[in-house]
Amino acid sequence: MRAALVALLCLLLLLMPVASHAQTASPVTAAAIVEDNRAQIEKPSRQTIGPVIAALAASGDPQAVMILQAWANRGLGLRKSDGAFVLLSEAPEGYALRGLDGSDAGTAPRAEITELRPNAGVRGIIANALVQFQLSDPDRARRAEALTTIARDPAPELLTPLRASIEAETDPALRAQKDRLNRLLTLRFDPDAAARIAAIESFSGDLGLDLRAALNPLLATTRRAAPEGAAFDGNIARTLEPGDDLTETEAYDSLVAAGLAPPRLTTAELKASLAANIVDGAVAGIPLADLNTQAARNRAYTALEVAGTVPVAATDEEVTQIVASHQFVETYAEPDPAITTAAQEVLAGIEIKLGAMQTADLALDALSLASIYFLAAIGLAITFGVMRVINMAHGEFIMMGAYTGYVVQLFIPNYTLSLIVALPLAFLVTFAAGVAMERLVIRHLYKRPLETLLATFGISIALQQLAKNIFGTQARPLTSPAWLDGALTFNDIVSISYIRVGIFVLAILFLMVFLWLMKRTRLGLEVRAVTQNPSMAASMGINPDRINMLTFGLGSGIAGIAGIAIGLFAKVTSELGNDYIVQSFMTVVVGGVGNIWGTLAGALMIGTLQKGIEWFNPSNTLAAQTYMILFIILFIQFRPRGIIALKGRAAGD
């Protein structure tokens, strides 16, 4: 017994150096991996290079990152003199060289070096391998770039390094982004079904596009077929009924693709096969005279099939029979029913919320458009609604205001300051133009609507031509300040540009100013007096001509300010007014002539109606405007005085 113990101890002593050597053996270096896979690295293929790059990434050698980065950036090369791999950097005499271990390898002329230039596919694999190192890089920009790479091209092998980097992340925004990406990758790639379901449920109500992009592949379906009564494996989404869920042609094509049925026999193939097998005036024993029906020709072809003369193919009757003898289903790409059920429930909730958000976004668009129409029509509400003057040149006052803003920006490059200067200046320019137009033309045509319409239409054409002569036919820029760039974003669905928010605020501001002017000032009192009864107002010492002049100038001045607002997002051309004159008149008429609240209601109605029609037919905005005009014509038939009609003596004038 003692001898046996001594022998055992001796054996252990002999084995100890071997074990110690095995434990202290150095790990495989990145340089060794590169040398062992020289042929694949020199001529890489996306289909075969993956394991080599994965081995480099998993080596634990700090030089692996440097080698991969250099390779991706065409900084890896071969020295022709000895075939050694070297890392390259630009130098005056050619290249500065370093060995794969990072040591200095001198310099070399360009002719001495063969650059390794991986294609885009290989560079993509390298980028994915580098992600796990970049996730914990001290440079925040590199970490953000790594997260962008993962989001763009998610892969199962990225899940583990991503999770490992979350706890050490110090930037709150990047930590939140990592946590979201972790859940997105978990719901797709985690081997634990419970973890995947928990990740899916954590996104309940989330409207992110990245979430829908991650869930939709789980619910992707494949059409499958099998003989009647056979059992399907996999996660069945639904059973398909030929004739209801798919056509007979689609059902049979799926059978042919699955190898469960022969190809369909076409008419041309049938005729060619029968003609090629005519023997003694018959085909397969059937006289040619009897082949005058489709059924007879099909029988002849079937007989040729049995004889092996022609390839097997299905006639129309056989197609129907074969389809009837098979069953069809759609199966999910995801085999676990619990996961697809969770994904469906989350997506159903998202669809409900998405519909509500799309409705809210459509309402914001409608409100924005209504603000534009109201701003364009508020001046017309004064000249047409109060003075009963049909001013077809109102759109040109809008155009004049927009060009005023453009000219101001030519002299004042600061867009905020130019906007502050342009708003009152546009009012003064168009106010003066409106006063001149009223004094020279309009005051001679009061209570003569047809002549007023023709005269202002002629002035409209003249102003357009004058603008073309001065500014040319090319659209001119009216640039908004930087603080109006971008959009007010609530989520991925609901957003509105800051310019439109500004126009909405401007419209509300002008509504308040107009109400204050008409209700709280002497000018407003005199305007209302002249509107209701000019003769009585004149007998009270009010000059109707002066009030008409100021009122027309005020309406024109407001149109000029509207031109500044509209020009910030629309093209500034001589035809700018044409795009809004029709809507402005419709806004005033539909809302109720002579009532500012009616103008507001008309703008809301027309803006909502136009956006609603565009939602049903988004590819044809011209059709939307046509339908809107037809609706308004019908509306006026039933309510000719508009939404909010004037009452009393003024209503009958």
Question: pLDDT of 132-163, one tens digit each?
Answer: 777 877 888 888 888 888 888 888 878 888 88
Read off the pLDDT of residues 227-270 as tens digits, 9 standing for 90 and up: 888 888 888 888 988 888 888 888 888 888 888 888 888 888 88
**In terms of DSSP bridges, do strands 104-108 and 94-98 run parallel, antiparallel, or are they unpaired?**
antiparallel
Instruction: List b or e across 520-556, with b for residues whose CB sees 16 or more CB atoms inside 10 angstroms.
Output: eeeebebbbbbbbebeebeeeebebeebbbbbbbbbb
Vertex 14: Cα angle to 11 and 16 (nearest 5): 110
Centre a 10 Å sphere on the Cβ of residue 519 and count the other Cβ atoms it contains: 10
Using CA atoms, how far apart are residues 360 and 354, in angstroms rounded to an integer? 10
**Is residue 628 classed as helix, strand or coil in its secondary structure?**
helix
- Tell me which range, 422-436, 518-532, 578-592, is most confidently predicted by mean pLDDT: 422-436
Cβ(130)–Cβ(72) below 8 Å: yes
Confidence (pTM): 0.61
Counting residues of the chain whose pLDDT is more than 90, the rounded percentage is 12
Counting residues of the chain whose pLDDT is more than 70, the rounded percentage is 92
Read off the pLDDT of residues 605-626 as tens digits, 9 standing for 90 and up: 888 888 888 787 766 666 677 7
Q: What is the pLDDT of residue 622?
A: 66
Q: What is the pLDDT of residue 139?
A: 86
Using CA atoms, how far apart are residues 88 and 95, in angstroms rounded to an integer? 6
- Residue 15 — very low, low, confident or very high, per pLDDT cuts 50/70/90? very low
* Bridge partner list, 94: 91
Task: Say if residue 37's pLDDT is above 90.
Answer: no
Task: Say if residue 464's pLDDT is above 70.
Answer: yes
Cβ(350)–Cβ(279) below 8 Å: no
Give DSSP secondary structure letters for 143-204.
Answer: HHHHHHHHHHS--GGGHHHHHHHHTT---HHHHHHHHHHHHHHHHHH-S-HHHHHHHHHTTT
The CA-to-CA distance between both ends of the chain, in Å, stands at: 132
Handedness of CA 290, 292, 296, 301 (dihedral sign): positive
Burial of 372 (0-12, 13-18, 19+ CB in 10 A): buried
**Is residue 469 classed as helix, strand or coil in its secondary structure?**
helix
- For 108, the enclosing helix (H) or strand (E) is strand 104-108
What's the whole-number average pLDDT of the chain? 82
**In terms of DSSP bridges, do strands 282-283 and 286-287 run parallel, antiparallel, or are they unpaired?**
antiparallel
Which of 172, 119, 128 minimizes the C-alpha distance to 152?
128
Over its C-alpha atoms, the chain yields an Rg (Å, rounded) of 40
Q: Where do we find the tokens 């342009």? A: 422
Show contacts of 437-444: CB within 8 Å, 24+ apart.
437/393, 437/552, 437/556, 438/548, 438/549, 438/552, 438/553, 439/549, 442/389, 442/391, 442/548, 442/552, 443/545, 443/548, 443/549
